[in-house]
Amino acid sequence: MSQSKIQTLAKETIQLQAIAISSLVESINIDFEKAVDVIFNSSGRVVITGVGKSAIIAQKIVATLNSTGTPSIYMHAADAIHGDLGNIQKDDVVICISKSGTTPEIKVLVPFIQSFGNTLIAITGNLKSFLAEEANYVLDTHVEKEACPNNLAPTTSTTAQLVMGDALAIALLNLRGFSSSDFARYHPGGALGKALYLRVSDVTKHNQKPQVSIDASLRDIIIEISEKMLGVAAVIENDKIVGIITDGDLRRMLKNNTDVSQLKAKDIMSKNPKTISNDAMAIDAMEILETNDISQVISEENGKYAGVVHIHNLVKEGII
C-alpha cells in the first residue's frame, strides 16, 4: 500500500466519524433531558454496563463521571448475570450500552434490572431493539456506517457512544456547578489538578531564601547565590525587595568590568524585579517565567520577601 493511500484511508476514517458525531446532535431530545434529570436527582450511583467494545466505552464514561462529580461504577454485563448484580443498589441508575441492543447478555440482564425497580437508560444504535423497547429512556447513537471497510468492527459506533457519554457528563457537571476547585480535589495527583491547587507558597517553603543587602560585596553575593543553589539572590533594603541578582547578572558584570573589587550589590542588581504574591497559584508563576523568558521569580508576602520560585520547581511538580 502506498503512503498516499494510507493517508487517504486515515483521512476518510476521521471524516466518516466526524460526520457521524455531528449527526448525534439530532439525537439529543427529551429522553436525554430526562436521563440527565433522573441521574442528577438520584441519591444512588450510576452503574454502567455493556459487552465487548461497548464495555470498554462504559469504563471510560464511568471514569469521566467520577472525575466530574457523579459517583459511578462499571459492571460487565456478562459478569452481572454471574453474581455482579449485587453491585446494583436500590437507588442506583443503570446505563446499558449496546450498539445492537440485542446481545444475549443484555437480554438476560435487562429483566433483572427491571425487577429491582432501577431506572434503566439505554445507549444504543437500534431504537427497535429489545434494549431500547425495555429501557425507561433511550439515548440514540445510531450511525450509518462503521469506519471499518467491512462495516463490521465497532469504530464509528463506539465513538458515538463515547461522545454521548461525554454529553451526559458535561450536562451533569453544569447542573452540579462543578468548579475548577472541585476538579482539583478529584485530581490531586495529576498535573491538571496541581495547576488548579498548587500555590507559590507550596513551592517556596521548600526552597532556601537567598538574599543580600544593598551594600553586599561581590564575594558575599557569589557565596550566597552558590550556597542557596537557586541561581539568584534578592537584594533587600529596609525589609523591602529593591533588586535581584542572577547568575546572568554576574556573568555580564564580569564581562563588562575589568576591576570588580569595589562593586556592591547595588551596582550589579537589576531593579524592579518581577515578583508574585506568595498566595498566588503556581501556574501564574509559570506564566511570568515564560512571558519574560526568565528562570526565577521572587515571591512576596505582605510586601516582604517570601522566597524564590525556580523553573525547576515547576518542572518537578509537573506544572511544566
Binding residues for Zn(2+): 76
Rounded to whole angstroms, the Cα distance separating 142 from 295 reads: 53
Give the single-character DSSP code of 52: T
CB 143 within 8 Å of CB 127: no
DSSP E strands, the chain: 46-50, 72-76, 93-98, 119-124, 137-140, 211-213, 232-237, 240-246, 270-271, 275-277, 296-301, 304-310
Smallest Cα–Cα separation from 164: which of 77, 40, 64? 64
Cα(120)–Cα(117) distance, rounded to whole angstroms?
Answer: 9
Q: Is residue 240 classed as helix, strand or coil in its secondary structure? A: strand
Output the known binding site: 76
Outline where DSSP puts E strands in 119-237.
119-124, 137-140, 211-213, 232-237
Q: Please give the radius of gyration of the chain, using alpha carbons only, rounded to the nearest integer.
A: 30
Which neighbouring-strand residues pair with 65?
none
Backbone φ, ψ for residue 280 (5° rounding): -70, 165
Q: Which of 47, 152, 129, 131 has its CA nearest to residue 91?
A: 47
Hey, what amino acid is at 121? I
Please name the residues in contact with 55: beta carbons below 8 A apart, sequence gap of 6 or more.
49, 74, 76, 77, 97
Residue type for position 312: H
